[in-house]
Amino acid sequence: MSIHIGAKKGDIAETVLLPGDPLRAKFIAETFLEDVKCYNEVRGMYGFTGTYKGKRISVQGTGMGVPSISIYVNELINEYGVKNLIRIGSCGSLQEDVHIRDVILAMSASSNSSINNVRFNGTGFAPTANFELLNKAYLIAKEKKVNVKVGNVFTSDHFYQDDAGWWKIWAEHGVLAVEMETAALYTIAAQKKVNALAILTVSDSLVTWEETSSEEREKTFTDMMEIALNL
């Protein structure tokens, strides 16, 4: 057992899907996995292991933001030997042509995270996806005829910002969407020599102000879930 995950060694598969929302983890386990075992309820941050098309796979909630996902990713890698970490999250569109429910494969993640600023002493590091996972996810998405976009996302330490126009500089530089964890996932994976990818579904738009409900974010972003399960 680790501090935040109540699993025994061997309870967690080498490939783990990582939604921020623990109830999205529960939905995936109940909807897609067979022979499911819940290995974690510590802090209500559910973790499950089961099989998908005969392959052993786990799904673990991470909570919201860089500090929270960093805890889970560190423990999954250091204590449980996880090798493939696939975030499946929601995000807010920063571009007119990135629509609600589109899927984004995060090739890279810009960030205002203070954690990475401290780690790299105020200089820039470019958190980047694993190419094999990215390429495979793209091919699966195309085959499934999912509206998919690949590019840079912005990992923010804020969900609410006082300056309503904060995102425009990032949009001008081609960033597709905002979320809150990917830069941390990619940075830790790079340091630990494991594979990481973030697959995101657009839940709302900072451009048009459209949005989806929390229930939709929990249960209906199934394209992203199925792409991740088939990697």
Ligand X SMILES: O=c1cc[nH]c(=O)[nH]1
Residue 2: CB minimum distance to ligand R1P, A: 21
19 binding partner (options ligand X, ligand R1P, none; Cβ < 5 to 8 Å by kind): ligand R1P
Q: Which amino acid type is present at position 170?
A: W
Residue 185: CB minimum distance to ligand X, A: 14
> Among residues 22, 47, 50, 89, which is the contact residue for ligand R1P, using CB under 6 A?
89
19 makes contact with ligand R1P (CB under 6 A): yes
**Residue window 145-184: x/- pattern of binding to ligand X, with contact defined by CB under 6 A:** --------------x------------------xxx----
204 catalytically annotated: yes
Which range, of 16-24, 48-56, 144-152, 168-176, touches ligand R1P by CB under 6 A?
16-24
Residue closer to ligand X by CB (options 60, 203) is 203
Name 182's Cβ contacts closer than 8 Å, sequence gap at least 6.
87, 89, 106, 109, 127, 153, 155, 198, 200
> Among residues 50, 61, 92, 127, which is the contact residue for ligand X, using CB under 6 A?
92
> Among residues 75, 102, 179, 223, which is the contact residue for ligand R1P, using CB under 6 A?
179
21 binding partner (options ligand R1P, ligand X, none; Cβ < 5 to 8 Å by kind): ligand R1P
Residue 203: CB minimum distance to ligand R1P, A: 7
Residue closer to ligand R1P by CB (options 33, 104) is 104
Catalytic annotation, pick one of 11, 21, 102, 204: 204
Q: What's the distance, CA 52 to chain centroid?
A: 19
181 binding partner (options ligand X, ligand R1P, none; Cβ < 5 to 8 Å by kind): ligand R1P
Contact 95, 176 (CB under 8 A): yes
- Window 27-86: residues binding ligand X (CB under 6 A): none
Q: CA of 1: how far to CAs of 53, 58, 152, 217, in Å?
A: 28, 16, 35, 30
Binding interface with ligand R1P (CB under 6 A) = 19-21, 64, 89-90, 159, 179-181, 217
Residues annotated as part of the active site = 204
